[in-house]
Every structure is written in C-alpha cells, then in structure tokens.
Amino acid sequence: MVEVGEKAPDFELLDTELKPRKLSEFLGKRIVVLLTFPAAFSSVCTKELCTFRDRMSILNSANAEVIAISVDSPFALKAFKDANRLNFTLLSDFNKEVITKYGVVHENLLGLKGVAKRSAFIIAPDGTVLYKWVSDDPLVEPPYDEIIKLVNEFNKKYLG
C-alpha cells in the first residue's frame, strides 16, 4: 500500500474520452486529489463524486486537481460523468493495475472481485503522497472537510 511520504506510483489509464492519461501529467503545478471508488452509478459513489463536484470551486481556488478512478469501463464512466455533470477527470482502471499498486483493492465486495476501495490521496506537485485515507467499508464516505482543509494548507506550503 502507498504510504504518506512515499512517491505516488505513476500510471497511465484511459479517461472518458478514451485518451491515455498519466498521473505525472497532472503533477508539477497543482496539488492532486486522487480518489478511488467502487462503482459508477452506485448510491454512495454518486453522492461522493457529486459532493466533490459541488466543492470544485473551493478545490480549484486551492490549485487542486481532482482525479477519480474506478474499475468501470471508460464507457460506463463517461455515462456516469455526463449523468452527474462531473467537472473533473474520471479514469478507468479496468485492468485493476492502479488499485493494486496503491493497495486499495476489495478482494470480494458483494461477490464482485477486485473493485476499488473508497480512498483519497493528496499528492504534492513533486509526486509525494501528503495524505491517505482508505475505507474497508464501502458505505463510508471520505472526510470531505478534512480533505479540503488539507488541500488549502498544502497549497500554501507547496505553491503559496
């Protein structure tokens, strides 16, 4: 599992437009909030990503880039993004490589093998993991206020 203080493993995944995207392309000038979530269109995941959507102006003002990853196909993620008017990048980890690298895999969730745990990582512009939150319970949402507070603090420290 990726730990605070380590370099975040780089990766390349398809976005909702079938464009390959790397973590490294988002780093450099911004703080990255990297989310993993179990399944598009599930109730808790929809609530979580819509909460981040609704707080994007705060995150943008703190120079944060939000990236959300699930093992859903890019086609399902595009429909999910469009249906919920999500204003950040969604990436498909269909082959489960990133969730494995980051150590956020549910081995068996309701009979589904290898879906993402709900997690949030805050990554510095140099790629260092500054914060990690992972839940084994898919019904537990991330601590939104804590993440936003830390993003603002890290923005001042690293980019201010």
Residues 106 and 70: beta-carbon distance below 8 Å: no
**CA dist., res. 141 & res. 157, Å (int):** 27
Cα–Cα distances in angstroms (integers) from residue 3 to residues 9, 14, 112, 133, in the given order: 11, 25, 26, 10
Catalytic one among 45, 76, 120, 151?
45
φ/ψ of residue 50, rounded to 5: -70, -30
Active site residue 50: no
Strand pairing category for 64-70 and 89-92: parallel
Q: List the catalytic residues.
A: 45
